[in-house]
Amino acid sequence: MTLFEVWAPLPERVRLDLDGAIHSMDRCAGGWWRVEVTAAEGARYGFLTDEDPTVLPDPRSPRQPDGVHGRSALHRLDLSVWTDANWTGRPLAGAVYYEMHVGTFTPEGTFDSAIEHLDHLVELGITVVELMPVNAFDGPHNWGYDGVLWYAVHEPYGGPDGLQRFVDACHARGLAVALDVVYNHLGPSGNYLPRFAPYLTDGRNTWGQSLNLDGPDSDEVRAHIIGNALRWLRDFHIDALRLDAVHALVDRTATHLLAELATETTRLAAHVRRPLTLIAESDLNDSTLITPRAAGGYGLTGQWNDDLHHAIHTAVSGERQGYYADFGSLRCLAHTLTHGFFHAATFSSFRGRTHGRPIDTAVTPAAALLAYTCNHDQIGNRAIGDRPSAYLTDGQLAIKAALVLCSPYTPMLFMGEEWGARTPFQFFTSHTDPVIAAATADGRKAEFADHGWSAEEVPDPQDPATFLRSKLDWAELEESRHLRLLSCYRKLLALRRQRPELTDPWLSHTSVDYDESARWIVVHRGALKLVCNLSEDQVTVPVTGFSLLSWEPPTEGPSATTIPAHSFAILADR
- pLDDT tens digits, 109-122: 999 999 999 999 99
**Does residue 156 fall inside a structural domain?**
no
Whether residue 451 is predicted with pLDDT greater than 80 in this model: the reply is: no
Tell me whether residue 468 is in a domain: no
| CB-facing half-sphere around the CA of 478: CA atoms within 13 A | 3
Band of pLDDT at residue 471, cut at 50, 70 and 90: very high
> What amino acid is encoded at 430 in this protein?
S
Domain boundary among the residues 79, 98, 133 is at 79
DSSP state of 518: T
Q: What angle separates helix 394-405 from helix 480-498, to the nearest 10 degrees?
A: 20
Sign of CA dihedral 149, 150, 151, 156: positive
Q: In residues, how long is the chain?
A: 574
Could you tell me the CATH number of the domain that includes residue 10?
A: 2.60.40.10
Model confidence at 485: pLDDT above 80: yes
Digit-coded pLDDT (tens) for 75-107: 999 999 999 999 999 999 999 999 999 999 999
Please say if the pLDDT value at position 450 is more than 80: no
Question: Is 89 inside any structural domain?
Answer: no
Name the band, by pLDDT with cuts 50, 70 and 90, for residue 362.
confident
Give me the mean pLDDT over the 404-429 stretch.
98
State the CATH number of the domain containing residue 557: 2.60.40.1180
Asked if the structure places residue 243 within a domain, the reply is no
Catalytic annotation on 479? no
- The pLDDT value recorded for residue 68 is 97
Write down the mean pLDDT value for the chain: 96
Its pTM stands at 0.97
* Residue 123 C-beta-side C-alpha neighbours within 13 Å: 8
User: Would you call 281 a catalytic residue per the annotation?
Assistant: yes
Q: In what order do the strands lie in the sheet with 539-541?
A: 539-541, 561-563, 555-556
Q: Residue 199: which of 300, 60, 44 has the closest Cα?
A: 60
Strands 302-304 and 277-280: parallel
Q: 138, 155, 281, 286: which one is catalytic?
A: 281
495, 529 Cβ separation under 8 angstroms: no
Judging by beta carbons within 10 Å of its beta carbon (0-12, 13-18, 19+), is residue 348 exposed, middle or buried?
A: middle
Work out how many domains the chain is built from and give that number. Answer: 2
Q: What is the tens place of the pLDDT at every residue in 43-60?
A: 999 999 999 999 999 999
Q: Would you place residue 255 in the very low, low, confident or very high pLDDT band (cuts 50, 70, 90)?
A: very high
With respect to residue 538, please indicate whether it lies within any of the assigned structural domains. yes
Confidence bin at 150 (pLDDT 50/70/90): very high
**Domain presence at residue 488:** no
Residue 305 has pLDDT above 90, yes or no: yes
pLDDT at 457 over 90: no
Could you tell me if residue 560 is inside a domain? Answer: yes
Whether residue 455 has pLDDT greater than 90: no
Question: Mean pLDDT throughout 566-572?
Answer: 98
Is the pLDDT at 535 greater than 90, yes or no? yes
What's the confidence (pLDDT) of residue 574? 74
Domain limit, last residue, from 45, 79, 113: 79
37 within a domain of the structure (yes/no): yes
Helix axes 218-235, 257-272, angle to 10 degrees: 30
Reply yes or no on whether the pLDDT at 452 is more than 90: no
Instruction: Using the Cα atoms of residue 228, residue 231, residue 232 and residue 233 in order, give the sign of their dihedral.
Output: positive
Predicted local confidence at residue 543, as pLDDT:
97
For range 307-325, the mean pLDDT: 96
Q: How confident is the model at residue 454 (pLDDT cuts 50, 70, 90)?
A: confident
- Torsion angle, alpha carbons of 132, 136, 137, 141, to 10: 60
Domain boundary residue among 33, 61, 79?
A: 79
Structural domain range at position 523: 510-572
Amino acid at 34: R
* Active-site residue, from 130, 138, 180, 244: 244
